[in-house]
Amino acid sequence: MLGMALAAIDGTIVSTAVPQIVGDLGGLTVFSWLFSGYLLAVTVTLPLYGKLSDTFGRKPVLIAGIILFLIGSVLCAAAWNMAALIAFRIVQGLGGGALQGTVQTIAADLYPLKERPRIQAKLSTVWATSAVAGPVVGGLLAGYADWRWIFLINLPVGAVALWLVVRHLHEPARPRPATRPKVDWAGALGVFATGSLLLTALVQGGVAWPWFSAPSLGLLGASAVLAALTVVIERRAAEPIIPGWVWRRRTIASVNLALGAMGLLMVAPTVFLPTYAQSVLGLGPIAAGFVLSVMTLSWPVSAALSDRVYNRIGFRRTAMIGMSAALLILLAFPLLPYPGEPWHPALLMLLLGAALGLFQLPLIVGVQSTVGWAERGTTTASVLFCRQVGQSLGAALFGAVANGVLAARLLDAPVDGLPGDLDAVTRALEDPGAFSAAATDHVRRAVDAAVDYVYIGAAGAAALALLALITLAPRRFPIITEPTEPTEAAETAGAPGRQDAAS
């Protein structure tokens, strides 16, 4: 949990100190790469760390990830300009990729199927606590100390986590392979390069340059060529980083697609709800953050109780119930009154957190339970990788939708010269004297419409998740009961070591 906390609190604590960082180091035009660079490094390294943990064990990968994250934190605190800080944030992300995937895998290794919901719920509380504590701690450090402390504060947390892992994490002995394990470094490089180019195109398209410009088309074309080359490399590799069975097995493929769609829809609340709260409801940044954070309060509670549902009706049906509820909640957002009260979106986010907790955890627990130890790291990494890619794709797609709707609504504005970009409009609304009363109301309504369309798009992503489960996921997940787990389930199924049960 401490290792996970390093990655969980990172984004929220850094975001609050951006004004102080930019004021000290400059680089206003590229500061978004503080987050994009970190996200890119985490995403493209997930498959590599998953395969390494299956090959060499979870403990060395987790230790290496914590050390790398702490080295990146020290370097970030010592950064002398924005370019250096962005580079060191990427180093942090290289460690963060090991933390996110390996912790989830270890949780499945150490605890039998019946106990995994409780453990996964505790890991969810780490994210919930970070969502609330991160902005507060980051604001206090940036306001009363120095922004460099937001990185140095990782050192004591990481040191304790490292000591606990080294001292107390004991993996079961595994038989040594007859031949020395081979790492598919060519495949790893291909995955890294393909993911880097694709995510750069998605993150910067429509922001740093137009979508149909030479940089966007060049990056997308190069990523397509590299993706094809990587597929060829992986097919020939003895131990590929992303093996073909990840997509040939219906259970894993359906969960990958469903959680990829969930990553897509998560952009609506995490990226656009704070903008809505500030620009339409007129809340301050901290209050807007708390409107979003209520989602992280109901999520772990729902996840902890989900086993009572999927033990009765199965993983697939439980996830379908959760995503069906999320679909209705997302469709309810455009029906909120204008301008409305802050508790209106807060209530919807509370319900959305409960729905997504009922969706995500059964799928993660279920898919981890369909593979043995030697495949669990790769499987978990593939699920998290698809979710991260979906989130990057959603940010690009919904950003284009929001800016398109906003520009269309501002064509008949009562004043000329209004910015057509959502971020620029939000900054302008922070100045009370920027517009007349009529123009301000028109701009607020335009932002309201733009966010409404984003939520409609998020509802479409929820429908895609449901479609993946309905058409691809087997009705009963083929559960593997390993020797460390209770054997009653396998005995009930009538076959030693394997359970084809509703759960």
- To which residue do tokens 């035009």 refer? 29
| Two structure tokens written together for 230 | 């990587």
| Two structure tokens written together for 458 | 């998020």
Q: Is the peptide bond before 486 cis (omega within 30 degrees of 0)?
A: no
Main-chain dihedrals φ then ψ at residue 241, nearest 5 degrees: -65, -45
Q: What angle do CA 11, 325, 259 make, to 5 degrees?
A: 45
| Two structure tokens written together for 392 | 């990057």
Buried b (16+ CB within 10 A) or exposed e, 461-478: bbbbbbebbeebbeeebb
Give the DSSP H/E element, type plus range, for residue 118: helix 116-144
Give the DSSP H/E element, type plus range, for residue 104: helix 82-110
Contacts of 278 (CB under 8 A, 6+ apart): 284, 285, 288, 426, 429, 430
Contacts of 437 (CB under 8 A, 6+ apart): none
User: Among residues 404, 410, 396, 391, which one has the least CA distance to residue 451?
Assistant: 404
Contact of 9 with 156, CB cutoff 8 Å: no
**CA of 306: how far to CAs of 203, 353, 365, in Å?**
34, 13, 11
What are the residues facing 205 on neighbouring strands?
209
**CA of 85: how far to CAs of 74, 92, 96, in Å?**
11, 10, 16
DSSP-derived pairing of the beta strands 478-480 and 498-500: antiparallel
Q: What angle do CA 24, 30, 31 make, to 5 degrees?
A: 50
Question: Measured between alpha carbons, how far is 254 from 249 in angstroms, rounded to an integer?
Answer: 9
Contact of 466 with 323, CB cutoff 8 Å: yes
Hey, is 473 helix, strand or coil? coil
* pLDDT tens track, the chain, 503 positions: 888 888 888 777 777 677 778 778 877 667 777 877 888 888 888 888 988 888 888 999 999 999 999 999 999 999 988 889 989 999 999 999 899 889 988 988 888 888 887 887 788 778 777 777 777 777 777 677 788 888 888 999 999 999 999 999 887 776 666 666 677 788 888 888 888 888 788 777 766 677 778 888 898 899 899 989 988 888 888 788 888 888 889 999 999 999 999 999 998 888 788 888 888 888 776 677 778 778 888 888 888 888 888 888 989 999 999 999 999 999 999 999 888 888 899 999 999 999 998 999 899 989 988 888 888 888 988 899 899 888 888 877 888 888 888 888 877 766 666 666 666 777 667 666 666 777 777 788 888 888 999 999 999 999 999 999 999 989 888 887 665 443 333 323 333 343 433 33
**CA of 273: how far to CAs of 397, 418, 436, 483, 498, in Å?**
16, 22, 25, 46, 44
- To which residue do tokens 């609330």 refer? 132
pLDDT of residue 502: 37
What single string gives the DSSP state of each residue in 390-439? HHHHHHHHHHHHHHHHHHHHTTT-SSS----SHHHHHHHHTSTTSS-HHH
Contact of 358 with 322, CB cutoff 8 Å: yes
Hey, is 493 helix, strand or coil? helix
Give the DSSP H/E element, type plus range, for residue 480: strand 478-480
| Two structure tokens written together for 472 | 């691809």
